[in-house]
Copies of this chain bind each other. A is one copy, B any other.
């Protein structure tokens, strides 16, 4: 049996586009004489559909789409993910299902057993867990059909009390198919291969794994669908960050190991961020980005990524110097713009900040300058960038990094403004590493931008290190608290200064109110701010 693996870029709720893509893939597979084509989890509606699932109208559209696609399945069968209605009076209203389509009709519907409800996942919010043993037999091949998390009950301390494959293996399947919506993080490819290897070896079965590719707001799906033999070796691996459609014959499922995808952390993050920007704009019907360029590293890396994602004609860089901007910052920003060949302009903010300060002077009598005046500068820049965005239909890209977002080193409605945060899940030390990666063949980001000490330039001779620890230490502590979810005692035991740990954790917790109001952030780590990290604002823990 010849199996087509279709790794497509879907768009949440865009049924017309999703269905057209699926049908086009089926037609290509037919031309290649495939017997079966496999699509990803919830392909029909895109992932994650979130509370759209609570609308009958939305589920109707999914069901109509599946009917339409089934009609195309003549001479070929398909496995495709879609929600299905729970017809029992008890339990949640929906299942997260794999539909088996053949002979122009829906042949059977198989429900996901294990519903991820952690980090960015909310599946038990919508779905009833399945419990039926779901083996399909097609062209003399017995296939165990699983949906994503069904194969993730792995490791020493599994979070579910049963694994569906333990039931299905009793029926002696020849093959596991796993349709997934497995989002990117820079270390997730290895996690996936490990988890699936554990399954392949435990059940002594080959696995076909089909993932989404493409970004949906903050979540980036990296593709990387694969075929694994029953020893847990990859024998086929699809593209990362691009659509792909490949074929494999079931006779070849125990072929030998291939060389695996060799991209490292920085290349993956780089490619993921570019896809994230590109799909945010493309799927929103937007074309042009605007951003404020300070001469610093964050806006430089953001501009380089945006230019690659959207094209240099579709990015507007604006330099917004004040009395505190150093000459080298403006020069560095100008060099960068020159290297990238994108459009830029300079708008001095002095007249406006002076007007704001004059207006406020009678109300600030007797008060010394403080962070208020720094915020006024940042908010003036935000106001000007948003005015340009509004007038010309651009979208403002936010350039804050994860280290700043973590400790609240940014101004709400000022430098924290923007429709999409590009680097909000990239620690400052990784922003530097990304800059080096971008410069690997030629100097795009000016070296001076990389080597000078970081500064917000909101008062004379300001340096980030005046108020924050050095970023290499800060980022290590943040990673232990945020990604590894270690508490203060565990971090201190790892050898960090107790006072510093307490201070940083307090800053993180006390700034939840700021992060609550920031733009959606492209997720590239295993724990990003936003939908995957849900913290109380009014709380008093480590703060």
Interface residues of A (CB under 8 A from B): 11-14, 17, 46, 48-52, 54-58, 88-93, 117-118, 122, 124-125, 156-161, 215-217, 279-280, 283-284, 345, 347-349, 351-352, 354-356, 358-360, 363-364, 367, 370-372, 375-376, 379-380, 382-384, 386-388, 390-391, 412-413, 417, 419, 485-490, 513, 516-520, 531, 533-543
Question: Do A538 and B372 form a contact, CB below 8 Å, given A345-B363, A355-B352?
Answer: no
Nearest B residue to A389 by beta-carbon distance? B372
A531 vs B117: C-alpha distance in the bound complex, in angstroms? 15
Q: Can you pick out 24 interface pairs between chain A and chain B where the beta carbons lie within 8 Å of each other?
A: A11-B538, A13-B542, A50-B536, A51-B535, A56-B487, A91-B159, A91-B161, A117-B117, A117-B122, A117-B125, A217-B536, A348-B359, A349-B359, A351-B358, A352-B359, A354-B355, A359-B384, A367-B391, A371-B390, A372-B390, A379-B383, A379-B387, A413-B417, A531-B534
Give min CB distance, A389 to chain B, whole Å. Answer: 9
Give min CB distance, A537 to chain B, whole Å. Answer: 4
The list of the 9 closest CB pairs from A to B, nearest first, reads A57-B487, A13-B541, A355-B355, A12-B539, A14-B540, A413-B413, A372-B390, A13-B539, A124-B124
Count of chain copies:
2
Contact assessment for B50 and A534 in the assembled complex, using a CB-CB cutoff below 8 Å = yes
Which residues of B sit under 8 angstroms from A359, Cβ to Cβ?
347-349, 351-352, 384
Nearest B residue to A383 by beta-carbon distance? B379
Contact assessment for A217 and B48 in the assembled complex, using a CB-CB cutoff below 8 Å = no
| Max count, chain B CB within 10 A of own CB: residue among A217, A364, A531 | A217
Contact assessment for A352 and B363 in the assembled complex, using a CB-CB cutoff below 8 Å = no
Give min CB distance, A306 to chain B, whole Å. Answer: 16
Give min CB distance, A93 to chain B, whole Å. Answer: 8
A349 vs B540: C-alpha distance in the bound complex, in angstroms? 38
A541 vs B55: C-alpha distance in the bound complex, in angstroms? 11
Please pick, from B118, B345, B372, B485, the residue contacting A391 in the complex, using a CB distance under 8 A: B372
Contact assessment for A57 and B488 in the assembled complex, using a CB-CB cutoff below 8 Å = yes
Which residues of B sit under 8 angstroms from A419, Cβ to Cβ?
513
| Max count, chain B CB within 10 A of own CB: residue among A91, A124, A352, A535 | A352
Give min CB distance, A113 to chain B, whole Å. Answer: 14
Which residues of B sit under 8 angstroms from A417, Cβ to Cβ?
412-413
Nearest B residue to A350 by beta-carbon distance? B359
Contact assessment for B520 and A519 in the assembled complex, using a CB-CB cutoff below 8 Å = no
Contact assessment for B379 and A391 in the assembled complex, using a CB-CB cutoff below 8 Å = no
A539 vs B11: C-alpha distance in the bound complex, in angstroms? 6
Which residues of B sit under 8 angstroms from A345, Cβ to Cβ?
363
Which residues of B sit under 8 angstroms from A13, Cβ to Cβ?
536, 539-543
Contact assessment for A217 and B537 in the assembled complex, using a CB-CB cutoff below 8 Å = yes
Extra A-B contacts (19), CB below 8 Å, given A372-B390, A379-B387, A386-B412: A12-B540, A14-B540, A51-B535, A52-B539, A57-B488, A90-B161, A91-B161, A93-B159, A124-B124, A283-B538, A283-B539, A347-B360, A356-B384, A363-B388, A364-B391, A375-B386, A375-B387, A516-B520, A517-B517
Nearest B residue to A283 by beta-carbon distance? B538
Nearest B residue to A284 by beta-carbon distance? B538
Please pick, from B91, B376, B390, the residue contacting A160 in the complex, using a CB distance under 8 A: B91
